[in-house]
Chain A
């Protein structure tokens, strides 16, 4: 087995609001694995980090061009590189990133053609099928925080004129829905909640409903007419059908906030077409995730054929965890460290389903396991629809 000698950290070149990079303490840890580290010039600059913060007088940490960062034995980057960037990676290199194999067949084909040995962070699952690299909590908390921020503009201190608790209706009772309940009852922010309690604020009530209620218009009208915040945390079985048709949004009070945690895009040329869970809302990103009803972006981001007559202030973001970049990367670093230990010890080709806990998890995320169907055989998530937790 040829040992891993170098690791590259290219920047993520997505929207300007994407500030996430691995933090200096993670780079310090990677050096202990015995590799030379190559960091793209400007890495971390959007978060105020300089190269000196990363180097810390360590001779194993080097600054390099973007091309060089992609030329190392291992390339670690949270969000997948763009299609044209894959060819910067050396044949046989190990690319570790969120690749979403099940929903990105073109990407899988490219990786295969270029001979890239890929590990998809979103496919790293344990023997029970639980993802080891995920940040669902941040999806829910950051989304709810943005919603309460928006509501607070109307009601300072989040105290309504009738002083009743804020009503949050949460659609979906999966993992994100569970975190959303927790976040909703704490006003999306622990500090704000503590202040609210100290000021004897009325608090919030979270109503959680599954699909046997969300599919019933009579019950939904009753619930939505009293909702101050409506949260879509669903994982739909049929993504071509919205959970909340646009006409239903009229039932919400004018002041209500819609929170989109489901992040399905509009893909109208797919067969069948994919639509958003709440019909007629735009999809935001880290540059803009709050959309008021009169925002001109609404018409730019929602396809013309989708009904969008009824509008409420909407908070939506493809990458909710990225709203708090540092906290997010600290979280991911903790999750990825034991996996990197195994990768550097065993190498890509040494990984097997007969190894240790983390080795098995890592193996399931390899491109070769995906292509051979082994990733599908053991746990379930490879078959599930994907939710962007990156």
Chain B
């Protein structure tokens, strides 16, 4: 059997690497999209669509530069931004379309969780768009600051600085609400 050409091997390797990221990345993409969109169904749809779009443009992905994981979050970020642009709503999450995870076994804990989520979301709205992006990619998407820098086309140091400023602002906001 003739060996695969280098081009074929490269295509196959990229396909395999991308497919292998599904288990670890899909839940994180959902969490990130949920933090930005505030709607569980939309978040799941965005995360699912990220992989479809990634395969559609896999040929344009180069191994050098941005790691594949960060590339997926770049696609997700662009999709979230597109949805905001298409939507007439401003970039905020209202209580109306916020779906919280169910915890029917413990209503008190569920209520507490709802209040906490509402206050954290409210606090996130007080950050600058870039600070909010850093926090959601980092805390909800689980990316490293270096990966966040790649997604946002920033320097690592700039991202760490935005992260510290964002966390300090959140500390004040959440501290005022006696949440920390």
Q: Do A and B bind each other?
A: no
Interfacial residues, chain A to chain B (CB-CB below 8 A):
none
Please list the residues of chain B having a beta carbon within 8 angstroms of any beta carbon in chain A: none
